Structure 1
Amino acid sequence: MTEHLDLTPDVRRLIGGLDPEQTEAVLAPRGPLCILAGAGTGKTRTITHRIAYLVATGEFAPQQLLAVTFTARAAGEMRTRLRMLGVQGVQARTFHAAALRQMSYFWPRHVGGSLPELASSKFRMVGQAAARERIATTTDLVRDLASEVEWARSCLVGPDAYPEAATQAARETPLPAAQVAAVIARYDAIKKNAGVIDFEDILMSMAYLIESVPEVAREIRSQYRGFVVDEYQDVNPLQQRLLDAWLGERDDLCVVGDASQTIYTFTGARPDYLLDFGERYRQATIVQLERDYRSTPQVVALANKVISGSGGKLAKARLRLVGQRPDGPSPTLRTFDDEPAEAAAVARRCRELIDRGTSPAEIAVLFRINAQSEVYESAFTDAGVPYVVRGAEKFFEREEIREAIVFLRASVRSAGGSELALDEQVRRVLASSGWDPEGSVGQGAARERWESINALVGLAEEMRAADPATTMEGFVAELDQRAAAAHAPTIQGVTLASLHAAKGLEWDAVFLVGLHDGMVPISRARTPEQVEEERRLLYVGITRAREHLQLSFSLSRAPGGRGSRKQSRFLDAFGGGQSSTTAPSVRRRAKVTRCAGCGQALVPGDVAAGACAECRAHGKNLFERLRQWRLGGARENEGPPYGVFDDETLSAIARRAPSSLMGLLGVKGVGETKLGRYGSEVLEVISAGRG
């Protein structure tokens, strides 16, 4: 495919400047086409040129093509590029926008009357549904229930099927699955009685109209003859059902995706549709784009190393990127004593890059959860580095933080001096306002809220370490100053964002922070599939960097803390030791097996046992102490010992010897119910053994 002498001048112009694989995708015969496009390989350019080619050759009129994406920004970019190629009239929309446009046209004609009002949020109706089920709710619980409602509807799971489906998907439900199912059923009834529809109804109703009304099917399929779907790895069952309805028996479908960037399965996304495309369409053309034009070869090499450790079905579709840019600096891995030191160093490095000419808008700091932003907002403020927070509220603008500061300020006014240390005072005040110091608060919005408030406790610990005489009044004054500084307007600044919010974006310099086990992968990732999604999330973060990439983690959260954290298991591409600061070993992978207890790299003689000699000895003794404790607990509960924890679970606890409730929750066999019942006692047994 090097000459193309038989092509018209217009077509040769469209493929000018494309690489061989991009050209193959653009010129592929009409019919099913799957483009497996790695990060930075020019997928948007390829699919827009593909659309322009189909129009230029007369295969389709522009109005007969529908391109669907997942964000309005991506749809707008696609329309802009098509206009630059001289193509007008192609519909480029999100799934919801395309379906809403069609529903607005067909509903009055085939259902009658105006299209029902679209509910802007599920929150109010989900809250009503929970109340009618006599469930005491909080704002966070309603948010988490709304997420479950959305997941169930996106996965085509009805209330009756929800408990089994949630179990199979290993979902951590905010309430027992049967109660969530009852809320879903009640929500559907409330929505119907109110005469409103939600975003899932738009897709479902449009699919149903096409499936059940022949006239609608004929008109839709006459209007739209060809389809393009971007980010196909993120399609959920409801979206696929609508796509199937649009297509009918036809196969003029081009899909684009990358299995290694599958990071939204928790919302219902199913990469199987991308992975099985060749089986569904036996005559499909499949093209792989692996030439990375975004990142330097050094960044690309690290990305390949990290993702090469993945397993399972998605690994079979893994692409190996080939960097096309000139060489750049090697990625670095840095270790810090504590989180404030890590944030301060990142802020200083950003200041250096800016002083050397890098635009602040071309720098990003990416973290796993939004609660991690506070320490960076503070460090950047102190360093005079402008920043913007993407995808979330600034720390001091969050509702839970504003409420917490109100309680703290009230405690200053209502109480005199206290003999307690500052951090203990802060814990008591926040606990009295409903915050749980032990962190046994579930997942989702509740967990995010807990992490944000816990960051205030961390700040109090830092201030007490710096000055033991710091008072509560001084602490509140510090919070007020930080909040005022964070509200300062910034026109352009370094981006602070979560890894999920960074999807689809890129910067000249990227700092990936907080990369310790328990955060990346996050502790609530328990199944192999969930851990692999965490690996892909890190891969997405790495591939956001064009040139400069720094990865880092801290040994403890606060200054003076116990430095017990271990670097993320996904960073073994750097080698096994924590002292690694650069990536000379990126080109040659060192296989590292880690101790199940302490996380350190194992010497060959210990690999078979899965733990180092010290942890094996400690674990054996701890196991016996846990068995004695369990016997007492079983007597109190008048049940068999295995009803507390079985031997396999006790053995796993003994090997890992977690020091926190969250760490204990990460042990297989320890659920939230048993954590609440026995967690504190287990930690006391472990702590006594350390002493």
Structure 2
Amino acid sequence: MNPDDILDQLDPEQRDVASHLTGPMVVLAGAGTGKTRAITHRIAYGVASGVYTPQQVLAVTFTARAAAEMRARLRALGASGVQARTFHSAALRQLQYFWPQAIGGTPHRLVENKAALIAEAARRLRISTDRAAIRDLAGEIEWAKVSMLTPEGYAKAPGREAPSGFDQRSVSRLYQAYEDLKEERLVIDFEDVLLLTVGILEDDERVAAQVRQQYRHFVVDEYQDVSPLQQRLLDLWLGERSDLCVVGDASQTIYSFTGASSRHLLEFTHRYEGARVVKLVRDYRSTPQVVQAANELLAARKASPREDARWAEPLELRAQRPSGPAVMFGEFRDDAEEAAGLAEHIAATVKEGTPAHEIAVLFRTNGQSQAFEEALSRAGIPYKVRGAERFYERREVKDGILQLRAAARSAEPGEDAPALARTILSSLGYSPEAPTTTGAQRERWESLAALVAVADEVAEARRSRGEETSLQDVVDELTDRAANAHVPTLDGVTLASIHTAKGLEWDAVYLAGMSEGLMPISYAQTQAEIDEERRLLYVGITRARRQLHVSWALSRTQGGSASRKPSRFLHALSPDVRAKHGEVSSRERASARRKPAKAAVCSVCGGALATPQERKLRHCADCPLSFNESVYEALRAWRTSESESTGKPAFVVFTDATLMLLAEALPSSPQELARISGVGASKIERYGETVLEIVSTHRGS
């Protein structure tokens, strides 16, 4: 291909990127600005003009899909032979080639999943784990390795919060046991591929020289996501040379929890003096309305001067597409209404001519997908879940339904079904409060919390009809929903978390569940964490080409108190949201995280009660429950004995919440017993005399 023809296809800024072929260059490329086009044309122009030898160019990106797309574009531009790979793919190729001479023997086998080895290492140390904990531990070990921390170094890492249920020392011991086990089995993991390649290049100058002779020119895409380990490898590939072009956008840094850092992008010009800087700000993806929303979101960020050094000045995008529809904002009464409303709107959008595969519903956490799966199924709209298992196929969901079904067979009539569901699911990892950490533990909790929400919805619906709710009613509803959720998904609406949507785009995007506690997520507390949440929403907005819909629900359950607020980030995007809801106070944010489901107040502090258990106890979780501990412990001991002798689960006898109420009320007659939630006529007949005797015996202890 004629070199000039390659440049003629580019806008002025892209042409600037493509026509300067040597020396250091940093391309600051906003979302939808054609960065892949710019760097592939740069490489093709270098090959066509004779400056580059194809086999001496290495283009690095972060996903196999992106690498494949880059290779296809280069072939179309006449630049076949250029290596376009991920960091891991390029390093693995080199490691396998140099292993015999640098390490000796046969290369160790690569394991693609750490779970089995981590589980075995945990058993050796007698550390109790489950599937979710193993996933979180795997993520933590990966973070440590890409941050180039040894087990000993991890134990001393300042300010690092270990996964839920563990401390740094125990994770460090497990990390070391995992490394020892890999050495015994002669296997390596993906992080080892980078670490070993780095080690070989640092220790063997002959190997380093051979690699540097092979590759003379480097391009790195998504440079804001480079980890310290990947940067170390890149430095070794380069040596003392500076023929490096990096492309990135600090405003799209959303993987800090994996070790990614935009620091390398932001400090590029300090490291390479005289580096050429090109900004790509012409947005070819989105309409002016979508682009304006993205710009306003980043421009509205406020922080103290002390924090400003950690926030990169955002690029201001300039839309190149014709005008489109205004960004739509939708407020719904509850999650179910939001899901149904979006499904109805999506059906109309499809009817108007937008293919289902050009539509996406994006949310903050995987646990939010359930409501949209069900709503789309009911509307007959095919869908596919990206980056996560279908809700009813998740292991914790299957286990939860199985346990609820088993418990329903022996549950007593009149028992509080939602409270029973909470007690049963607590054995799988559910708790009234969400975990403060990210990862698999959080995802597991989200799934179980979704089951609890179904129990609440069933109870609310039956209560409105004057009917009682049994645990079997909850199980029947879950079974029905699971059966109806299985629809063809080969070509359908995409359901995805915003994280997994990175790098993708659709004609119509629905950003759902955009309320305080979800966006920003409740455990984002520091300025840096809030900033990352803002960048995550920016990524979500910029996935839309033409239509953007932003929605939130005021309540989690049908008929619940409208205690939620739309995300604070939306105030900059919609005057109506700002006028109606104003600024969100820290107290309101805390209230949003607790998600009260009913207008009931604590008997101690007068605050709103968030969960059925709190309402049952008439106490919020933050206030101490003034029950008689001696009576409570005696009742628990009796319940254990009763459970063992009858074979009934302990919660079927009495739940913990009911025991607390008994220990607080200290009833002295069957009539007083009957006024306590969770104590029905059958239980008074069966256990009443014994309970009253225990209360009488221990109340003065």
Unmatched tracts of structure 2, length 5 or more:
591-601, 612-618, 627-701
Unmatched tracts of structure 1, length 5 or more:
1-8, 582-589, 601-621, 627-653, 662-677, 686-691
Equivalent position SS for 1:179: helix
> Take 1:598 and 1:436, find their aligned partners in 2: how far apart are those partners?
22
Task: State the shift of 1:364 in Å.
Answer: 0.3
Q: Which residue of 2 aligns with 1:429?
A: 424
Q: Which residue of 2 aligns with 1:40?
A: 32
Equivalent position SS for 1:334: strand
Whether the aligned pair in 2 keeps the contact of 1:96 and 1:199 (CA below 8 Å) is yes
1:10-48 deviation per Cα after TM superposition (whole angstroms, max 9, x unaligned): 121001231110011111241111111100000110000
Q: Which residue of 2 aligns with 1:342?
A: 338
> Take 2:103 and 2:158, find their aligned partners in 1: how far apart are those partners?
34
The partner residue of 1:234 within 198, 202, 225 is 225
Q: Which residue of 1 aligns with 2:483?
A: 484
> Take 1:236 and 1:400, find their aligned partners in 2: how far apart are those partners?
32
Q: Are residues 488 and 185 of structure 1, via their aligned partners in 2, closer, same or farther at CA, if it must alter by over 3 Å?
A: same
Task: State the shift of 1:314 in Å.
Answer: 5.3
Question: Are 1:134 and 2:133 matched, yes or no?
Answer: no
> Take 2:414 and 2:88, find their aligned partners in 1: how far apart are those partners?
58
Whether the aligned pair in 1 keeps the contact of 2:21 and 2:46 (CA below 8 Å) is no
> Take 1:153 and 1:92, find their aligned partners in 2: how far apart are those partners?
24
Equivalent position SS for 1:99: helix
Tell me whether 127-136 or 242-251 shows the greater mean CA deviation.
127-136
1:123-152 deviation per Cα after TM superposition (whole angstroms, max 9, x unaligned): 122222223333211221121111111000
> Take 1:433 and 1:74, find their aligned partners in 2: how far apart are those partners?
38
Q: Which residue of 1 aligns with 2:103?
A: 111
> Take 1:433 and 1:223, find their aligned partners in 2: how far apart are those partners?
53
The partner residue of 1:73 within 62, 65, 74 is 65
1:564-600 deviation per Cα after TM superposition (whole angstroms, max 9, x unaligned): 111111111135654879xxxxxxxx9x654333369
> Take 1:552 and 1:166, find their aligned partners in 2: how far apart are those partners?
39
Task: State the shift of 1:472 in Å.
Answer: 3.3
Whether the aligned pair in 1 keeps the contact of 2:137 and 2:171 (CA below 8 Å) is yes
Equivalent position SS for 2:588: coil
The partner residue of 2:414 within 385, 402, 419 is 419
Q: Where does 1:200-211 land on structure 2 (aligned, <5 Å)?
A: 200-211=191-202
Q: Are residues 433 and 235 of structure 1, via their aligned partners in 2, closer, same or farther at CA, if it must alter by over 3 Å?
A: closer
> Take 2:179 and 2:217, find their aligned partners in 1: how far apart are those partners?
34
Task: State the shift of 1:293 in Å.
Answer: 0.4
Equivalent position SS for 2:231: helix
Q: Which residue of 1 aligns with 2:623?
A: 682
Q: Which residue of 1 aligns with 2:211?
A: 220
Q: Are residues 216 and 178 of structure 1, via their aligned partners in 2, closer, same or farther at CA, if it must alter by over 3 Å?
A: same
> Take 1:495 and 1:484, find their aligned partners in 2: how far apart are those partners?
20
Task: State the shift of 1:297 in Å.
Answer: 0.4
Equivalent position SS for 1:376: helix
> Take 1:210 and 1:563, find their aligned partners in 2: how far apart are those partners?
60
> Take 1:235 and 1:595, find their aligned partners in 2: how far apart are those partners?
35
Whether the aligned pair in 2 keeps the contact of 1:174 and 1:443 (CA below 8 Å) is no
1:58-92 deviation per Cα after TM superposition (whole angstroms, max 9, x unaligned): 11210000111110000000000001101110011
> Take 1:658 and 1:142, find their aligned partners in 2: how far apart are those partners?
36
Task: State the shift of 1:406 in Å.
Answer: 1.0
Query: Could you tell me the TM-score, scaled by structure 1's length?
Result: 0.82
> Take 2:162 and 2:360, find their aligned partners in 1: how far apart are those partners?
31
* Structure of larger gyration radius: 2
> Take 1:288 and 1:220, find their aligned partners in 2: how far apart are those partners?
31
Question: Are 1:259 and 2:250 matched, yes or no?
Answer: yes
Equivalent position SS for 1:93: strand
Whether the aligned pair in 2 keeps the contact of 1:574 and 1:580 (CA below 8 Å) is no
Whether the aligned pair in 2 keeps the contact of 1:506 and 1:545 (CA below 8 Å) is yes
Q: Where does 1:453-532 land on structure 2 (aligned, <5 Å)?
A: 453-468=448-463, 469=467, 470-532=469-531
Whether the aligned pair in 1 keeps the contact of 2:40 and 2:70 (CA below 8 Å) is yes
Q: Amino acid of the residue matched to residue 538 of structure 2? A: Y
Task: State the shift of 1:368 in Å.
Answer: 0.3
Q: Amino acid of the residue matched to residue 587 of structure 2? A: G
Q: Amino acid of the residue matched to residue 430 of structure 2? A: W
Equivalent position SS for 2:385: strand
Runs of 4+ in 1 over 6 A off after TM superposition: none
Q: Which residue of 2 aligns with 1:610?
A: none
Task: State the shift of 1:236 in Å.
Answer: 0.2
Task: State the shift of 1:453 in Å.
Answer: 1.0
Whether the aligned pair in 1 keeps the contact of 2:458 and 2:473 (CA below 8 Å) is no
Tell me whether 282-291 or 126-135 shows the greater mean CA deviation.
126-135
Tell me whether 15-24 or 466-475 shows the greater mean CA deviation.
466-475
Q: Amino acid of the residue matched to residue 150 of structure 2? A: G
Task: State the shift of 1:210 in Å.
Answer: 1.3
Q: Which residue of 2 aligns with 1:611?
A: none
Q: Are residues 659 and 223 of structure 1, via their aligned partners in 2, closer, same or farther at CA, if it must alter by over 3 Å?
A: farther
Q: Which residue of 2 aligns with 1:351?
A: 347
> Take 1:106 and 1:345, find their aligned partners in 2: how far apart are those partners?
58
Whether the aligned pair in 2 keeps the contact of 1:275 and 1:317 (CA below 8 Å) is no
Question: Are 1:363 and 2:362 matched, yes or no?
Answer: no
Q: Amino acid of the residue matched to residue 323 of structure 1? A: A
> Take 1:150 and 1:433, find their aligned partners in 2: how far apart are those partners?
25
Q: Amino acid of the residue matched to residue 427 of structure 1? A: R
The partner residue of 2:401 within 382, 405, 418 is 405
The RMSD of aligned alpha carbons is: 2.5
Question: Are 1:24 and 2:45 matched, yes or no?
Answer: no
Q: Amino acid of the residue matched to residue 44 of structure 2? A: A
Question: Are 1:596 and 2:586 matched, yes or no?
Answer: yes
Q: Which residue of 1 aligns with 2:91?
A: 99
Q: Amino acid of the residue matched to residue 126 of structure 2? A: R
Task: State the shift of 1:172 in Å.
Answer: 5.6
Q: Which residue of 1 aligns with 2:639?
A: none
Q: Which residue of 1 aligns with 2:445?
A: 450
1:206-257 deviation per Cα after TM superposition (whole angstroms, max 9, x unaligned): 1111111111011101111011111000000111111111000011111110
Q: Which residue of 1 aligns with 2:321?
A: 325
Whether the aligned pair in 1 keeps the contact of 2:515 and 2:565 (CA below 8 Å) is yes
Q: Are residues 658 and 530 of structure 1, via their aligned partners in 2, closer, same or farther at CA, if it must alter by over 3 Å?
A: farther
Q: Amino acid of the residue matched to residue 533 of structure 1? A: E
Equivalent position SS for 1:337: strand
Q: Which residue of 1 aligns with 2:662?
A: none
Q: Amino acid of the residue matched to residue 306 of structure 1? A: L
Q: Which residue of 1 aligns with 2:647?
A: none
Whether the aligned pair in 2 keeps the contact of 1:174 and 1:442 (CA below 8 Å) is no
Q: Are residues 471 and 139 of structure 1, via their aligned partners in 2, closer, same or farther at CA, if it must alter by over 3 Å?
A: same
1:634-671 deviation per Cα after TM superposition (whole angstroms, max 9, x unaligned): xxxxxxxxxxxxxxxxxxxx9xx78669xxxxxxxxxx
Q: Are residues 429 and 180 of structure 1, via their aligned partners in 2, closer, same or farther at CA, if it must alter by over 3 Å?
A: closer
> Take 1:481 and 1:599, find their aligned partners in 2: how far apart are those partners?
35
Whether the aligned pair in 2 keeps the contact of 1:658 and 1:683 (CA below 8 Å) is no
Whether the aligned pair in 2 keeps the contact of 1:259 and 1:314 (CA below 8 Å) is no
Task: State the shift of 1:560 in Å.
Answer: 1.2
Whether the aligned pair in 1 keeps the contact of 2:383 and 2:488 (CA below 8 Å) is no
Question: Are 1:284 and 2:278 matched, yes or no?
Answer: no
Q: Where does 1:295-314 land on structure 2 (aligned, <5 Å)?
A: 295-310=286-301, 312-313=308-309
